[in-house]
Structure 1
Amino acid sequence: MGPPHVGKQTGYGPELQWQSHPPASLSPDGSHPLSNKYSSRTVGVQIRSLRTGSVVQITDTLVGKEESKATCATVLKAPPQRQAHVAEDLREDQATVCQGRESQPQEICADPQFIVGGATRTDICQGALGDCWLLAAIASLTLNEEILARVVPLDQSFQENYAGIFRFQFWQYGEWVEVVVDDRLPTKDGELLFLHSAEGTEFWSALLEKAYAKINGCYEALSGGATTEGFEDFTGGIAEWYELQKPPPNLFRIIQKALEKGSLLGCSIDQVDSSGSLQKLIRVRNPWGQVEWTGKWGDNCPNWNTVDPEVRERLTVRLEDGEFWMSFGDFLRHYSRLEICNLTPDTLTSDTYKKWKLTKMDGSWRRGSTAGGCRNYPNTFWMNPQYLIKLEEEDEDQEDGEGGCTVLVGLIQKHRRRQRKMGQDMHTIGFGIYELAGQTNIHLGKNFFLTTRARERSDTFINLREVLNRFRLPPGEYILVPSTFEPHKDGDFCVRVFSEKKADYQAVDDKIEANLEEIDAGEDNIDDGFRRLFAQLAGEDAEISAFELQTILRRVLAKRQDIKSDGFSIETCKIMVDMLDSDGSGRLGLKEFYILWTKIQKYQKIYREIDIDRSGTMNSYEMRRALEEAGFRLPCELHQVIVARFADDELIIDFDNFVRCLVRLETLFKIFKQLDPEDTGTIQLDLISWLCFSVL
C-alpha cells in the first residue's frame, strides 16, 4: 500500500504532505548510534529510526524523580464480551495462496505446540504477507502478559481438549469480540506461508494472524496499515502519535502524564543531575534485544560518571539486553515517530493510576443525506452528523499556569478492511470542532458553518482507519463534526473522546416534530370559481378517484415551466386520496379536493423556493430544508431513510416523490396522534394494525 492520501481542506487548515526525512546523524566514531539488525515495534510507544526505518520499544520505570515504578504491566479487567463464534473456516483470497495449500500443524511438524514458555519475540517472523504493522503490534503483546492473556487465551493446546479450533479476542469499535478459527494454515512446500515462529513448532502467532484476518475479511485485507490499529484492537485503548521532527513543546510532560494514567508506553523517563545541570533522560527497550544506543547516556557512556553513584545504580542496575538510556534531545533527533496507547478506564483496576473518562458515540455517513464532505463543500458540510461536547471542569494539573481541559478525540471508520475484497478501501476522513456561544440541541445549519471558523480540527484528512488529536480547550460547549473529505461517501464510524475530567457528550439532532397547517374547508372559504372547476372535473358523481386525480394533476404540471415533472404516479395519487378520504369511499369530495389542492399549491411553492439553482428538480441535500419548510423536523436517521426511499441514483428527488414523501409523513403523524391521544410518544399495535399501516 502506498503512502496515505492526504486531503487539503481549503480555508480549513494547512495542507499536509507525505514527507521523506533526512538521515539521522552519526556517532563520533562514524557509526550510527543505533546498531539495528531487526525491525521491531511495541505496544504503546513506537519510535521509528529516521535512517533505517526500524522501530524500538520504550520500556517502563520512573516518572520524574519519583522512585515508584510506573509499569505498563497493569491489572486488566475484561468487559462483557460479544460472542462471535463462527464455525466456518476463513477463506483467504485465492490470489494470495494460489500456489499453496492448507495444512494442519500436525502435517507441518511432529510435535506442534500452541505456546511454549510464554510468548517471545522469536515467535513472530513475517511471511509473504505485507502486514509488518500487525506483527509489530503482536510483538508488543509479548511484553505484557495480562494483555496477551486477554487476546490469546493461554488455556489452549494441541494436546489437552484439542478440537482443531482456537479462540481469540479483539476489540472492535467498543466491544470485545471472540473469534474462533480452525487450525488449517496456508503453507507452501511444507512451510507456513505467512506469520510463523522461528522454531517452526509454536503456532499461537500464526493462528492469531488468521483470526485477525478473519475478522477483517481475508488475509489480503491485512496488507498495509498503521501499528496503532493493532494496538487498539489488542487493548481497546486509543492511540495517539507525534512526529518527533515537530514535537509539541510539552511532549516530555505528555509522556509523564501518560505513565501516570497507566498508558501502554512501555516507557520510562527521569531527570538526573549531571555536573550541576538537570538532564532529561528516556529509557528505550527493543523487544528483539538486538539494538543498543552507543551515543550519550548509553550503557558505557562516560556521562554516567558525572551522576551521583546512588542515582546511577538505581537507574542502570536492572537494564536488560536491548534496554538503554538516552537523552530526550537525542531521542527527538534520532527517531521520527512516537505512539502512545491510552487505556480505557475499564482496563485499569488499580487505584494508583489516574484514569481517563471515556465516551463513545456511533454514527454513519450516508450518500445523499449525512455524507456531506469537508468544509470545501459548504452546501453539504452541515449535513454531516454533529456531536455536542460539554467541558465543565478544568484539569487538576495545569500546564504553564494555563487552565484548560485536555481531550483526546479519535474518529474511527468501521469495517473498511473487510470491504477491500469488494473493491472498497479506507475513506479520507477528519473532523472539526466548533465553539458554541450557547447550548443547542438542534442540528446546526449551513449559515452557522459559513460564518464560524473551527476552533480546532484534526491535523489532516487522511485515508487511515483512525484520525486522532489531542486538544486543550477552555471549559465550554463545542460541536464536533466528523466527515469524509469528499461528499457522497457511505460509511460507518465511531467517535471516542478521552477527557481528564468528566464531560457530557451527545449527538445533536432535531427532535421529531410536525407543525402541520390546518386548512379550513368551510363553505365560506370555497369560492364559486373553485366549485365550478370541481364540478367540471368530477363529473356527475361529484367525486374524484385516484385515476381521475392523476389525469388532472398531469395537465396542471404540464403547464409549469419551473418544475420538471412527468406528472404524478398512480401510487402517489392513491396515497393522497387515502390521506383525505374521510368516508372510506376511495374518492374525494369537494371539501377534500379543496384541502388537497391547497396543499399541492403549498408544495409547489416550497419545491420552487428550495430549488436554488433553478434546475426544476431538488437535490437530496436540499430535502432537509424543504421538509422543515413543510413543517417537519426529523432526525438524521430518518433523513437517511427518506433519501434511500425517494431519491434516484443521481440523488434527485422529483416533484412526484417530494409530494409522496410529504403526504406519507403527514398521514403517519396523524395516525400516530390518533393512537396516542395523551401524547406519550409511544403506541401499542396489534399485528393487523401494524400490517395495515405498513402498506400505506
Structure 2
Amino acid sequence: MDPLGPTSVASTLAKKRALAAGFGTNSNAVRYLNQNFEALRAQCRSSGQLFCDPTFPAEPESLGFNELGRNSHKTRGVTWKRPTELVSNPDFIVDGATRTDICQGALGDCWLLAAIASLTMNKFVMERVVPTDQGFGDDYAGIFHFQFWQFGEWVDVVIDDRLPVKDGELLFVHSAEGREFWSALLEKAYAKVNGCYEALSGGSTTEGFEDFTGGIAENYDLNRPPSNLFQIIKKALEAGALLGCSIDITSAADSEAVTRQKLVKGHAYSLTGATEVNYRGRQEKLVRMRNPWGQVEWTGAWSDGSSEWNYVQGDCPHARSEDGEFWMSFSEFQRNYSRIEVCTLTPDAIDDNSVKHWSVSKFDGTWRRGSTAGGCRNHPYTFWTNPQFVIKLDEEDDDPDDGEVGCSFVVGLIQKNRRKLRKQGEDMHTIGFAIYEFHGQREVHLDKNFFLTHAQTARSETFINLREVSSRFKLPPGEYLIVPSTFEPHQNGDFCIRVFSEKQTETPNVSRFATFNTLRWSGHSHDFLFVVVLTGTDIKTDGFSMETCKVMVNLMDVSFTAWGAEHQGERFSLNNTIYQQLVARYSDPDMTIDFDNFVACLMRLEMMFSESDDQRRERERLNKLHCSTSRVVKNPSDFSRAETLTSVFFLRDLQEAGCPPEWLHRARPEPGEAGS
C-alpha cells in the first residue's frame, strides 16, 4: 500500500479520532478482527454450542508453515482438544497466576514465556492482559479473550479453547500442575495475533514485555554494564518493570546447551527479584532468576540448598523447591549472563502513584521503495529520503547528584507486523536510527545537503534484525531530529517510534510530501469533469453545492477557456500534515470523500497554487529590479514554500479547515511518470 495515498491517510486519521475518543486504550481495546467477546459468548450460551473460532481454526495452518507445517513430523498425530476433554475439572487460574504456571513445550518461544513469567509478578499489569471475566464456571462457552498492545493501541483478541495435543499432552506451553490453562490459552491468543504458533519461534523477551505492557524496553550488555546496574535493576523492579536476561551462544550447537552449573545458553530467563543480604558480616547482592522450563536450575553459589544460606543473618529469601526459580550472586550473574532487558512501563500501566512516571511520545511511519526507504548513512544520496521526526527537549533531569547535566530519554524503533510475514518467506529487517541536533524550520524535510554537512549527535547502539531497536540517551536541551531507517535502502516496511522521557517532550511534526493527484486530463475531452458529471454513470452526484459552485466560478473567472496542455498529468505535492487536514476537512465520518467535496477540494487547491505561482513570479520580477540594491531579501530560489503561499485566500481556507498555515509545493511528474 502506498504510504502517501489517501487510504493510509484516512486510516491514520480514523485511528487518531478513535484514540482521541478513548478507543485503543487498555480499558477500551480495539476488537481484533472485529470479534466481540461478550456478544459471541452470549450467542454460544444461547445456542448451547461451544465457540469455534473461524479466524484461527483448529487446523494445521494455525500451527505453522515449515517445521510445524502440515506435513512436518512434529505435527504428525496432533489433535485439538478443549481443556474439558483433557482433565475432568479444568481451571483457568488456580490461586492466582504465578511463575510456576508456565512450562515450555515443543515451541521455541522461551522469550515469550520469560515475559509471561515476569508478567505474573505484577497483578495490576497481569489483569490488563488476562481479563478475569472468564473461566470454566457457569459462563463457560469455549471462548476466551486476552489483550495485547500492538504498535500504539490495545487489541482484544478472542480465541476458542481448542489446544494442540500430541500423545495426550499439550504440545506447547502448559502448567506444572496440569489442570490450569490460562498460560496455554494466552499463548494461543498471541499466536493468533502473529499468524500461527510457529511465528513465535525465536525472539527477544522485550517483544513480549512490550506487547503485555505497552512499555519500552532497554538492553544492557553485561560485558559493558553501567556502574549502577544493580541500582537500575532494583529501581526497575520496585517500579513494576519487567526484566529478562539471556546467555549468548557462539554457534548453533550452543543453542539451549546446558552449562556445568545448569544454566541454559541461548535461553530466555526472567529476572524476578533483587536484594542484599548480610552474609558473614558483609552485604551480598543477590538476584532471583526464573527458567520458564519450570526446572533445570543454577547449581552454583546461592542455589537451592547451597551452604551460603547457612551464613545469612536476618531475613532470608531462600527457596528450596525445584520450580525453575533460583538465586545467585550479582557478581556471578554478571559473569555468566550476556545481556539484560528492562521494560519501563507507561503511566497507565502503573497503579502506584508513588512511582515516577515518564512522558511518552509516539510517531508512525513507513519505508517505501523509491520513496521513503533510503537506508542507513552508508547510502548518503538516499538517506535523506527516510522519514524524519523532531523532538524538543526543554527541561533537564532532576538528578543533581548523578554528576551529569542533560535530558534523559529512551528512543525505541519498532518494525510492525513482521512476524506475520514469515509465512510469505519474509522476516525482520535490520533497522536502526540516527539523531541530529537541529535548528530552523520544523516543518521542512531536510535534504541531502544537511546530512552531508552535519555529523550525527547520537545513534542507536546497533542496526539489528529484531522487532525493536532502543537506546537510552542524555543530551543537552534543544531540538533533535530522529531519522529511522533500514540498513539497506529500498526495503518496504511500517514502523513506529516512541520516545520515553523523564520530562515532557515537545514533538513537532516533520513529514515528507504527500502527493494529491488531480484528475488526469487526457484524450480528446478537455472538459472531462463536466462530461463525467453530465453523461457518466460511474459517479453518482446530486449536483454541486452552492459552496462548490462558487469555488468553480472563482477559478474559471480569470480568463479561463479550457484546460490547456500544461495541465496534462499535473499533480499537487503536499506536506503530510496538510494532506491529512484536507482529508479531515472534506471527508465524511466514514472517511470517504464524496464527489462534490472532491471537486471542491480540487478547485481550492488549484486556486491556491495559482496564486502561489503568481506571487512567486512577482517576487522574482521585483528581485531582478532590485538585485543590485541592499534591499534584496534573498535569491528567489531560496524562498521557502511558506513564503510563497501567503495569499488571503490560502490563509482563510486553511483556517476554516482547522489547520495551521503550512507550506505546499507544486510538482510535476518526471518524464514518463503517470500523473493520475
Whether these two folds match at TM > 0.5 is yes
Match of 2:28 in 1: 80
1:607-630 CA deviation, whole Å, 9 max, x = no partner?
A: xxxxxxxxxxxxxxxxxxx99xxx
Measure, in 2, the Cα distance between the counterparts of 1:677 and 1:456: 38
Matched residue type, 1:268 = A
Paired residue for 1:478, among 468, 477, 480? 480
The CA deviation at 1:676 is: 7.3
1:650-687 CA deviation, whole Å, 9 max, x = no partner?
A: xxxxxxxxxxxx99974785699999793345469xxx
The answer on whether the counterparts of 2:373 and 2:491 sit within 8 Å (CA) in structure 1 is: yes
Measure, in 1, the Cα distance between the counterparts of 2:237 and 2:83: 41
2:56 counterpart of 1:108: no
Match of 2:653 in 1: 679
Match of 2:193 in 1: 215
The answer on whether the counterparts of 1:272 and 1:281 sit within 8 Å (CA) in structure 2 is: no
The answer on whether the counterparts of 1:360 and 1:497 sit within 8 Å (CA) in structure 2 is: yes
CA gap of 1:232–1:548, structure 2 versus 1, over 3 A, is closer
The CA deviation at 1:495 is: 0.9
Match of 1:154 in 2: 132
The answer on whether the counterparts of 1:675 and 1:683 sit within 8 Å (CA) in structure 2 is: no
CA gap of 1:676–1:443, structure 2 versus 1, over 3 A, is closer
1:551-595 CA deviation, whole Å, 9 max, x = no partner?
A: xxxxxxxxxxxxxxxxxxxxxxxxxxx99995999976xxx86xx
Matched residue type, 2:399 = D
2:87 counterpart of 1:139: no
Deviates more, 1:284-293 or 1:454-463: 284-293
Match of 2:449 in 1: 447
The answer on whether the counterparts of 2:302 and 2:328 sit within 8 Å (CA) in structure 1 is: yes
The alignment partner of 2:390 has SS state of: strand
Measure, in 2, the Cα distance between the counterparts of 1:249 and 1:260: 19
Match of 1:186 in 2: 164
2:480 counterpart of 1:464: no
1:177-209 CA deviation, whole Å, 9 max, x = no partner?
A: 111101122223443222223444332222111
CA gap of 1:349–1:313, structure 2 versus 1, over 3 A, is same
2:301 counterpart of 1:295: yes
Matched residue type, 1:313 = G
CA gap of 1:192–1:545, structure 2 versus 1, over 3 A, is closer
CA gap of 1:260–1:433, structure 2 versus 1, over 3 A, is farther
Measure, in 2, the Cα distance between the counterparts of 1:500 and 1:279: 31
The CA deviation at 1:78 is: 4.8
The alignment partner of 1:496 has SS state of: strand
1:418-450 CA deviation, whole Å, 9 max, x = no partner?
A: 222233221111101111245633111111111
Measure, in 2, the Cα distance between the counterparts of 1:512 and 1:497: 25
Matches within 5 A, 1:352-371: 352-371=354-373
Measure, in 2, the Cα distance between the counterparts of 1:328 and 1:178: 39
Q: With the length of structure 2 as denominator, give the TM-score of the two structures.
A: 0.63
Measure, in 2, the Cα distance between the counterparts of 1:476 and 1:373: 26
CA gap of 1:258–1:474, structure 2 versus 1, over 3 A, is farther
The CA deviation at 1:165 is: 0.6
The answer on whether the counterparts of 1:130 and 1:222 sit within 8 Å (CA) in structure 2 is: yes
The answer on whether the counterparts of 1:299 and 1:324 sit within 8 Å (CA) in structure 2 is: no
The CA deviation at 1:146 is: 2.8
The CA deviation at 1:343 is: 0.8
Paired residue for 1:635, among 558, 576, 579? 576
How many residue pairs were aligned?
Answer: 491
Measure, in 2, the Cα distance between the counterparts of 1:224 and 1:580: 62
The alignment partner of 2:183 has SS state of: helix
Q: Which structure exhibits the higher relative contact order, with contacts defined as CA atoms closer than 8 Å and separated by 6 or more residues?
A: 1
Measure, in 2, the Cα distance between the counterparts of 1:545 and 1:151: 56
The CA deviation at 1:375 is: 0.8
Measure, in 1, the Cα distance between the counterparts of 2:559 and 2:407: 65
Measure, in 1, the Cα distance between the counterparts of 2:515 and 2:89: 68
The answer on whether the counterparts of 1:297 and 1:304 sit within 8 Å (CA) in structure 2 is: no
Measure, in 2, the Cα distance between the counterparts of 1:545 and 1:636: 30
Matches within 5 A, 1:621-632: none
Deviates more, 1:501-510 or 1:440-449: 501-510
Measure, in 1, the Cα distance between the counterparts of 2:425 and 2:149: 25
Match of 1:373 in 2: 375
Deviates more, 1:191-200 or 1:337-346: 191-200
The CA deviation at 1:109 is: 3.0
The CA deviation at 1:398 is: 4.0
The answer on whether the counterparts of 1:390 and 1:477 sit within 8 Å (CA) in structure 2 is: yes
Match of 1:59 in 2: none
Measure, in 2, the Cα distance between the counterparts of 1:299 and 1:197: 24
Match of 1:402 in 2: 404
Measure, in 1, the Cα distance between the counterparts of 2:514 and 2:172: 53
Matches within 5 A, 1:639-650: none
Q: Indicate the RMSD between aligned Cα atoms, in angstroms.
A: 4.3
Paired residue for 2:141, among 141, 149, 163? 163
Match of 1:313 in 2: 314
2:202 counterpart of 1:224: yes
Measure, in 1, the Cα distance between the counterparts of 2:279 and 2:450: 54
The alignment partner of 1:147 has SS state of: helix
The answer on whether the counterparts of 2:122 and 2:240 sit within 8 Å (CA) in structure 1 is: no
Paired residue for 1:387, among 378, 386, 389? 389
The answer on whether the counterparts of 1:124 and 1:195 sit within 8 Å (CA) in structure 2 is: yes
Measure, in 2, the Cα distance between the counterparts of 1:461 and 1:402: 27
CA gap of 1:440–1:148, structure 2 versus 1, over 3 A, is closer
Matched residue type, 1:459 = E
The CA deviation at 1:345 is: 0.9
The answer on whether the counterparts of 1:299 and 1:325 sit within 8 Å (CA) in structure 2 is: no
CA gap of 1:510–1:234, structure 2 versus 1, over 3 A, is closer
CA gap of 1:390–1:230, structure 2 versus 1, over 3 A, is same
2:268 counterpart of 1:268: no
Match of 2:16 in 1: none
Match of 2:425 in 1: 423
- Structure 2 gap segments, 5+ residues each: 1-24, 36-52, 71-75, 244-271, 527-551, 583-601, 613-646, 659-674
Measure, in 1, the Cα distance between the counterparts of 2:655 and 2:512: 15
CA gap of 1:299–1:188, structure 2 versus 1, over 3 A, is closer
The answer on whether the counterparts of 1:297 and 1:327 sit within 8 Å (CA) in structure 2 is: no
Percentage identity across paired residues of the two chains: 52
Match of 1:498 in 2: 500
Measure, in 2, the Cα distance between the counterparts of 1:469 and 1:153: 32
The alignment partner of 1:678 has SS state of: helix
Measure, in 2, the Cα distance between the counterparts of 1:501 and 1:683: 32
1:329-386 CA deviation, whole Å, 9 max, x = no partner?
A: 3332122111111111111232221111111222222222111111111121111111
Measure, in 1, the Cα distance between the counterparts of 2:499 and 2:63: 36
Measure, in 1, the Cα distance between the counterparts of 2:353 and 2:513: 41
The CA deviation at 1:455 is: 0.9
Measure, in 2, the Cα distance between the counterparts of 1:461 and 1:637: 33
Measure, in 1, the Cα distance between the counterparts of 2:28 and 2:605: 40
The alignment partner of 2:497 has SS state of: strand
Which one has a bigger Cα radius of gyration? 1
